[in-house]
Structure 1
Amino acid sequence: MSIEALLVGCCFAISAAVLSWIVSVMFSRAAVLYRSKFTEDAKIKLSDLFLFVEPEKLFIINMAILFAAFFLVFLIVGSWIVALVVSVALAVSPPFIFRVMKRKRQKQFLIDLPDMLQATSTAMKSGSSLNQSMESVVYEMSGPVRQEFDLFMREVRVGVDFDVALDNLYERIPLIDLNLVISGIKISREIGGNLADTIERMADTLRKKLEMEGKIDALTSQGRAQGYVMTGLPILLGIVLYQMEPEQMSLLWEVWYGWVVIAIVVVLETLGYVFIQKIVDIDV
């Protein structure tokens, strides 16, 4: 072996070692940053959802799911690029999952709110004060309504002003319907009047609004189902074609223009789904 070939080999080995070290350092820093951001966001969002789970344990479960998904997709598809894309998509999905959970919790809160207000109005008509009525009613409720109003009553008991506690409640549940209830209670407490009748009217208004929204959801359910079918049909068709012609379909992730086609399909699929949801999303 000549000296020139030996020098070239040494240069390649040193370059490969330096590149590996740089990649390992960048990967370790990215992992530390991801772990820090994940645990910090999970701690805040889980507390907002009244879910008392340790963020570190949740992070370990998340990493186990990512590695399991990578190996499972790699075994099924046989492409590490597709497996990596799926793992990255799962890695960035927790904020969207927390958002969906928060939206479902707020929806359940709105469903239970009219019953809570009606029961509070009935208790006030029997001679109890607003605080006493809320405490007795909240004790009998369950779900997000009990959690939020129980925290509200705790703030009032430790000396927080009633209006400030209501504002804190609205900060935790920023919904227009709840803002209507809070504004009505504040105005009625300030100018006087029959607060029990005011709360009862608000409960009846919210109940009618929820009934109307339920009818609209039932009428637009077919449009939403069409959106799901139109979005999932190309994916299902691609899987079927891959089973029938694996060599031809594998070109989608083996050549650069195949990735361009996938990117165009993803963009068009996303736009179509968003447009359909905008059409069927009717605000009351």
Structure 2
Amino acid sequence: MMFGTFAPADQITVMLVVGGATLLISLLLFFTFAGGESFSRQSKRRLIEISQGEKTMSKPKSGTSARRSQDTSGIKLLDALLKRLIPNPDLLRSRLEKTGFKITVFKYATATVLFIANIFVFCYFLYGLPLMLAIPISIASGLFLPHVIVGYLGGRRIKKFMKTFPEAIELLCRGLRAGLPISEAIVTVGHDAPDPVGAEFRGVANAMRVGQSIEQGLWNVSKRIDLPDFKFLIIAISIQRETGGNLAETLGGLANTLRKRRQIKLKIKAMSSEARASAWIIGSLPFIMFFLLWLANGSYVMTLLEDPRGMYMIGVGLTMIASGVGVMAKMVRFEI
């Protein structure tokens, strides 16, 4: 075992330090699930107030209960346990809907438990880590990996949506200029636009068929496509329905603005590519050198892991690397 050469006091110290760090990561992830984005909530509430001309009303409980009934496992004990363990299921459910896949809270919780179990088996039985160290590592990794995967899938779908969204607005404008009503133009976009834009507009068309208004159907889509660009479209349609005016001209200007914003973002990404490449190289170089030195002289490198002072040095080094990469990532990220 890796800790076989430690004194008992040193083993306890190392386990407490590493276990405390993993516990801190677990708490941060817990508060990430539990907490919401107050600015995003205020923005959504303000946009709804503008579109409806009044303060937002509470959503009917029937729709919420119908949606939650789809997330149940059919076992009352498991459902009650999930409600107690997940502090903010609505926020988690919203993140799962952004992926475009039919992932329920129960499936997500099951996948998280499987991740934790597999990582624990790998750390404790295969790698031989102590029990006090394997448990916090497996919990932290099991909570972190599904969270990152869901965030990646949601971000990838939103980026794919934004690639064809300006063209979808142009198609909507052409339908309005041809004399179609806004409802028929939305149906046309749903049939002709590629997914995920077409899929979302088809959902709006289906919502209109069952009696919902255009604005309500679009606001339901905005829960999955949480972008200000899409909310601009909803506000433009809402204002036109209340005050009148040339909606085709307004949406044409919106499509042109979105296309220019996308061009600016791509230009900034190209100009900041050098800094992002430097961040990747600087962040990965210590790990590459550690691996190469381990291949050349394993006993020399393993002194860092066998000596408690080496463990502290590794912790300080990883903290400094994470801070430097985080600062560089923040410097090349711009809001447009």
TM-score normalised according to structure 1 size: 0.75
Candidates 216, 220, 233, aligned match of 2:268: 216
Deviations 1:90-133 (A, max 9, x none): 41211122112211211221121101000110111111111101
Compared CA separation, residues 212 and 69, structure 1 to 2 (3 A): farther
Compared CA separation, residues 47 and 151, structure 1 to 2 (3 A): same
Q: What is the identity, as a one-letter code, of the residue corresponding to 2:333?
A: D
Residue 259 of structure 2 is aligned to residue 207 of structure 1: yes
Where 2:223 maps in the other structure, the secondary structure is helix
The equivalent residue for 2:193 is 141
Q: Hey, what's the Cα distance between the residues in 1 that align with 2:110 and 2:161?
A: 28
Q: Hey, what's the Cα distance between the residues in 1 that align with 2:107 and 2:98?
A: 17
Structure 1 unpaired stretches of 5+: 1-31
Candidates 41, 51, 60, aligned match of 2:101: 51
Q: What is the identity, as a one-letter code, of the residue corresponding to 2:118?
A: F
Deviations 1:111-167 (A, max 9, x none): 211010001101111111111011112112222212222222222221122222232
Q: What is the identity, as a one-letter code, of the residue corresponding to 2:100?
A: F
Higher relative CO (Cα under 8 Å, sequence separation at least 6) belongs to 2
Where 1:159 maps in the other structure, the secondary structure is coil
Residue 239 of structure 2 is aligned to residue 187 of structure 1: yes
The equivalent residue for 2:158 is 106
Residue 280 of structure 2 is aligned to residue 231 of structure 1: no
The equivalent residue for 1:5 is none
Q: Hey, what's the Cα distance between the residues in 2 that align with 1:165 and 1:274?
A: 39
The equivalent residue for 2:23 is none
How far apart are residue 47 of structure 1 and its match? 3.6
Candidates 112, 118, 127, aligned match of 1:67: 118
Q: What is the identity, as a one-letter code, of the residue corresponding to 2:207?
A: E
The equivalent residue for 2:129 is 80
TM-score normalised according to structure 2 size: 0.64
Q: Hey, what's the Cα distance between the residues in 2 that align with 1:207 and 1:65?
A: 43
Deviations 1:4-31 (A, max 9, x none): xxxxxxxxxxxxxxxxxxxxxxxxxxxx
Q: Which has the higher helix share?
A: 1
Task: Determine if contact 1:118/1:203 at 8 Å carries over to the other structure.
Answer: yes
Kindly tell me the number of residue pairs found equivalent between the two proteins: 250
Structure 2 unpaired stretches of 5+: 1-80
Q: What is the identity, as a one-letter code, of the residue corresponding to 1:192?
A: G
Compared CA separation, residues 117 and 225, structure 1 to 2 (3 A): same
Where 1:236 maps in the other structure, the secondary structure is helix
Q: Hey, what's the Cα distance between the residues in 2 that align with 1:49 and 1:263?
A: 35
How far apart are residue 228 of structure 1 and its match? 0.9
The equivalent residue for 1:12 is none
Q: CA RMSD in A?
A: 3.3
How far apart are residue 56 of structure 1 and its match? 4.7
Q: What is the identity, as a one-letter code, of the residue corresponding to 2:129?
A: W
Task: Determine if contact 2:111/2:146 at 8 Å carries over to the other structure.
Answer: no
Where 2:179 maps in the other structure, the secondary structure is coil
Task: Determine if contact 1:69/1:87 at 8 Å carries over to the other structure.
Answer: yes
Task: Determine if contact 2:208/2:217 at 8 Å carries over to the other structure.
Answer: yes
Structure of greater Rg: 1
Q: Hey, what's the Cα distance between the residues in 1 that align with 2:305 and 2:290?
A: 13
